[in-house]
Structure 1
Amino acid sequence: MSDEKLFEPESTVCDPVEQSWIRRLGPGLITGAADDDPSGIGTYSQAGAQFGYGLLWALLLTYPLMTAIQLVSARIGRVTGKGLASNMRVHYPRWLLYSAVILLVLANVINIAADLSAMGAAVGLLVRGPQQLYIVVLGGLSVVLQIFVPYERYARLLKWTALVLLTYVAVALIVPVRWGDVAHAIILPPVSLTSDYLTTVIAVLGTTISPYLFFWQASQEVEEMRSEPGQAPLRQMPHQAPAQLRRINFDTWVGMGISNIIAFFIVLTAGATLHLHHIDVKTSADAARALEPFAGRFAYMLFALGIIGTGLLALPVLAGSAAYAAAGSFRWRSSLALHLTLAREFYAVIALAIVGGVAVTFMHFDPIRALYWSAVINGVTAVPIMVIMMLMARSRRVMGEFAVRGPMAWGGWLATLAMAIAAAGVFVPG
């Protein structure tokens, strides 16, 4: 039996526009916050340490592109009442769907491993002790929370966990920043055509726009719809569209804005300290450790705590997006609101993704190589998925009267083009 039938809409409609602004934040906020995961923090720290303020302009570019493609994914979920994989299964060949999902799951497991490794190292910076034990405990905690905490409570927990990102704003306010140099670097960016510079630009773009975010936000829109009495797919109840699309726009613009602002401050902090003193870093934990001599122990502790907090936010998104994609491909029941006994396969994928990530950390992998291969797989996977998303979003057969047109469509295609260039750049010899 399909999971859609488990969530029949009731008669009372709850208009989210009438709610407070914080209540209107949900899938977009969580998605944006999860984008600044520990491996992403490592990438942004490397960018700042290597090029100072020279790549801050890239975060201004990624904001509208990231927002456009996430708006597309959210709209597909809310209009159709199905996640991306479920829609792909209906409208596209199975080989294309299975190939994309396999690559997504593989990339997510590698990302989970990199994030857990960074989180374990961050805990070790604060309390010392065996890093591998911390990795196992953190992985186990994430599995337990996703499986046994009810969805509405868990969604609220994730939303408030996003506040941990403010630690990176606080760190940037603690360190000495030459704001005139920052403004100059943004207005007249020191663009270079060297291999290292272009590779870092590609890494920043690939870190910011990732396939797991598409699957997560679309599926979370479905979850939100099911959790609100009286809500249904917009194709079935078009009168709900004005309020819901306004909510999606607000939620996504704010969520992606927070994501890019935090990334901006991480690059800024690394540029103001590590680059100034010619210190290179490989991981987010390296960045935290290197901050202490220049920014003090308080900034060092804030940075380390942020790594742990963002990891706890990102792990459910990485594992959950893999589970939603697999469930949509094989027509399994899929919802964090369902009891374990009603969605065994869905929860099994969540557990296996995190256990797989933990297992990879025991292989003592090189974190830089792990991030590289994750970027390669994400790049290969993102472009065809984004093309398919755009085709679905513009199709009246899929979206009915809510087919995407105008600025959102142009923004989505521009984001797809940018990712295609980034994916091609990954394979260009350095």
Structure 2
Amino acid sequence: MATLDSNDNRIARSPIVEPSKPRLLGILGPGLVTGASDDDPSGIATYSQVGAQFAYGATWTLLFSYPLMVAIQIISGRLGRTTGRGVAGNLRKFYSNWLVLPCVGVLLIANIINIGADIGAMGDAAKLIIGGPSLIYVAAFGFACAALQIFMEYKQYVRILKWLSLALLAYVATLFVVKIDWTALGIGFFVPRIEFSGKFLTAIVAIFGTTISPYLFFWQASQEVEDLKEKPERDPLRDAPEQAADANQRINLDTIAGMGVSNFIALSIMVTAAATLHAHNITDINSSADAAKALAPVAGKFAEILFVIGIVGTGLLAVPVLAGSAAYGLGEAFRWPTGLARKPQDAKAFYMTIAVATLVGAALNFSGINPIDALFWSAVINGVVAVPIMVVMMIMAASEQVMGEYTIGIWLKVFGWLSTSAMTACAIGMGVTLFIK
């Protein structure tokens, strides 16, 4: 059997079948980390703002978005596992540079802005608990996130990312210290309600733009490729058909669990904001730190501390994913040696991209740029660039030229195209909100 390195050179591998019954931590990998990183500080701000403004009335969107998230992320994972290339690598191989380079360039810009917003939120959150100037914490978090990716061994790094996902439990814990109107929550979650207003439309667009983002596609596909390099018993499915059943089952379970965690945490944040902030007529939430600060007088200091722990923990998880997905995309587009399993001296441009993206993102907090405006434009850029990337991913995943005999089945096609249609509607909605504003 053989696999491919970043330059499409074949590397000999032994014909060992992927284990059929891996341990739980072996199953929960790229999908879990991807799902957990989706609830980054920027996402926390979005869910808090929606819960504060509309109480339980927009929670139904998470029930609707879940199968769409699962489908498009499974497709991303299978694309990487089947071909041995990430999203950008497949775009480069099967399409021209006029499509690849703009998509990767816009992804890099959006990710840097998102990194800046996330690190800024982490700094503000640390200030709430420790005190002192938030910019000191911003600088510390920026350097720490860059250093972890560059200098830590890949296996240890992935293990840390998995454990950092436990920080999301802080938002589950807050549910036990707030008073929830379960009847209103049930109605809001299972009975879709739409308000034809600019604010509500913006909220719906923000939720979908937060839960279905291009960097998640790039990261999960590239992590499947990374696992091929790291685990000698695995080969691209096109070269190792005997591994297909177990590999696809693992990707399915990993992604279903990861996206389930992501949506449940998003729901927990929205419910917490609805039960506390909205119930006390606090609706002006502009950041995750604002949400944590507002919780203290209505839900107690303990709830605020839990919220802050979640912000810092998810930020430490999400920032490396944002920087890493940008580096994978750029590296594959330009045929650089890529991969966190490589030593820095063997993939200098790849690691330089990680460092520059992280540190430039952190530096945005020192520039005077309004973080809320920056985050809004990041969401707009992500929403717009997601559509063509999803369209091309769907075409590639159904193409025998790309996937061989392992093209996606009917259900993934249906939900994948539904997800693409939903993001197209969101992109149009974003354009409408620009005029409404």
Is the shorter-chain TM-score for this pair beyond 0.5, marking a shared fold?
A: yes
Aligned residue in 2 for 1:47? 50
- Alignment RMSD, CA only? 1.4
The letter for the 1-side match of 2:61 is A
1:57-109 deviation digits (Å, cap 9, x = unpaired):
00111110011000111000000000111110011110111000110000000
Contact map agreement 2:6 2:332 (CA 8 A) in 1:
no
1:271-307 deviation digits (Å, cap 9, x = unpaired):
0010111112110000000001111111100100100
Residue correspondence of structure 1 range 76-115 to structure 2 within 5 A: 76-115=79-118
Q: Does 1:276 align with 2:276?
A: no
1:22-55 deviation digits (Å, cap 9, x = unpaired):
3210000000000000000000000000000011
Residue correspondence of structure 1 range 163-312 to structure 2 within 5 A: 163-279=166-282, 280-312=284-316
Residue 413 (structure 1) aligned to one of 412, 417, 422: 417
Instruction: Name the SS for the 2:273 alignment partner.
Output: helix
My pick for the range that moved more, 366-375 or 376-385, is 366-375
1:131-158 deviation digits (Å, cap 9, x = unpaired):
1110111010011110111111111110
Contact map agreement 1:9 1:232 (CA 8 A) in 2:
no
Q: Distance in 1 between matches of 2:137 and 2:368?
A: 15
Aligned residue in 2 for 1:365? 369
Contact map agreement 1:121 1:285 (CA 8 A) in 2:
yes
Q: Distance in 2 between matches of 1:189 and 1:416?
A: 20
Contact map agreement 1:116 1:135 (CA 8 A) in 2:
yes
Q: Could you tell me the TM-score, scaled by structure 1's length?
A: 0.98
Task: Return closer, same or farther for 1:5/1:427 CA change in 2, 3 Å cut-off.
Answer: closer
Aligned residue in 2 for 1:381? 385
The letter for the 1-side match of 2:60 is W
Contact map agreement 2:88 2:329 (CA 8 A) in 1:
yes
Aligned residue in 2 for 1:57? 60
Contact map agreement 1:2 1:331 (CA 8 A) in 2:
no
Aligned residue in 1 for 2:358? 354
Instruction: Name the SS for the 1:334 alignment partner.
Output: coil
What percentage of residue pairs aligned between the two structures are identical? 51
Q: What's the CA shift for 1:367? A: 2.3
Question: Which ranges of structure 1 fall in alignment gaps of 5 or more residues?
Answer: none
The letter for the 1-side match of 2:248 is L
The letter for the 2-side match of 1:277 is H
Contact map agreement 1:7 1:226 (CA 8 A) in 2:
no
Task: Return closer, same or farther for 1:3/1:43 CA change in 2, 3 Å cut-off.
Answer: same
The letter for the 2-side match of 1:109 is I
The letter for the 2-side match of 1:287 is A
Aligned residue in 1 for 2:39? 36
Contact map agreement 1:112 1:315 (CA 8 A) in 2:
yes
Q: Does 1:121 align with 2:128?
A: no
Aligned residue in 2 for 1:395? 399
- Count of aligned positions: 430
Q: What's the CA shift for 1:18? A: 1.6
Question: Which ranges of structure 2 fall in alignment gaps of 5 or more residues?
Answer: none
Task: Return closer, same or farther for 1:4/1:237 CA change in 2, 3 Å cut-off.
Answer: farther
Contact map agreement 1:167 1:306 (CA 8 A) in 2:
yes
Contact map agreement 1:324 1:334 (CA 8 A) in 2:
yes
Task: Return closer, same or farther for 1:91/1:5 CA change in 2, 3 Å cut-off.
Answer: closer
Q: What's the CA shift for 1:190? A: 3.4
My pick for the range that moved more, 13-22 or 378-387, is 13-22
Contact map agreement 2:50 2:203 (CA 8 A) in 1:
yes
Contact map agreement 2:7 2:336 (CA 8 A) in 1:
no
Q: Distance in 2 between matches of 1:97 and 1:6?
A: 21
Q: What's the CA shift for 1:9? A: 5.1
Task: Return closer, same or farther for 1:269/1:94 CA change in 2, 3 Å cut-off.
Answer: same
Contact map agreement 1:16 1:23 (CA 8 A) in 2:
no
Q: Does 1:134 align with 2:101?
A: no
Q: Distance in 1 between matches of 2:336 and 2:83?
A: 17
Q: Distance in 1 between matches of 2:222 and 2:253?
A: 18
Q: Could you tell me the TM-score, scaled by structure 2's length?
A: 0.96
Q: Distance in 2 between matches of 1:365 and 1:272?
A: 32
Q: What's the CA shift for 1:2? A: 5.2
